[in-house]
Amino acid sequence: MRLKDKVAVITGAASGMGKAMALLFAKEGAKVVAADLNEEGVREVVKQIEADGGQAVAVGVNVAKEEDVANMIDTAVEKFGTLDILVNNAGIMDNFMPAHKVTDELWERVFNINLMGVMRATRKALPIFLEKGEGVIINTASAAGIAGSRAGAAYTASKHAVVGYTKNVGFQYAEKGIRCNAIAPGGVNTNIGTTMAEPDEFGMNRAMSGSDNNPRNGEPEEIASIALFLASDESSFINGAVIRADAGWTAY
């Protein structure tokens, strides 16, 4: 029970890595606020947690909306009394759109969810953590946040920004008992591909040109195990770090 009596908010918790994190965190004793745009999906996750004897609440949230993010954090405090762990996991792809075809609309949508959502939730959680003198933030970055072409221009830029934001928050609040780290997954078997429609052929071919060097895809549960480690006291000396989880793909 490595997270016994801790309260965790997890975005993108209806499926994939977020769902795996929610289930594992609850198994390890955390009270979980499972948040996602897919309200039906998070309600099913909560049912599964409760069936296994855990405590959880489902919250519908669009991380691109300030009021939704505020309600998400407020729900954690109202239902469970506090907040200890924030996992910013929600994100979308960008149809592998190359730089010469990126529209303002696509760029803003990807950044609003992948980066602004992280900022909004962190900004809302930090006053709680500062008052407590402790707190943990875990951001889902991507191999695209440390490499140049694992996706389109907007997604790549947004995940690089998440990496930089993680390092900034980690260092600036280190003396306040707050840690902020990121996980950079490579290929993982999730449904994030459903956030794409009509991927750009040129951009996809360039982004996928190194896919043969990928040793294998991971499973959501493998990423959840890393998140559990970062959320627990076992990682107390790790802060402002980006953990690559890609079977060695970006080491090539």
Give the residue numbers marked as catalytic: 155
Element at 138 (helix H, strand E): strand 135-140
Q: How far apart are CA 165 and CA 83, in angstroms?
A: 21
Q: How far apart are CA 159 and CA 64, in angstroms?
A: 16
How is residue 237 written in tokens? Answer: 């000396």
List Cβ neighbours of 80 (8 Å cut-off, separation of 6 or more): 7, 31, 33, 55, 57
Half-sphere exposure of 45 (CA within 13 A, CB side): 34
Half-sphere exposure of 75 (CA within 13 A, CB side): 22
Sheet harboring 55-60: ordered strands across?
Answer: 55-60, 31-36, 7-11, 85-88, 135-140, 178-185, 242-245
226: three-class secondary structure by DSSP: helix
Q: Classify residue 96 as left (phi > 0), alpha (psi -120 to 50) or beta.
A: left
Residue burial 225-250, b: 16+ Cβ < 10 Å; e: rest: ebbbbbbbeebeeebbbbbbbbeebb
Q: How far apart are CA 125 and CA 102, in angstroms?
A: 32
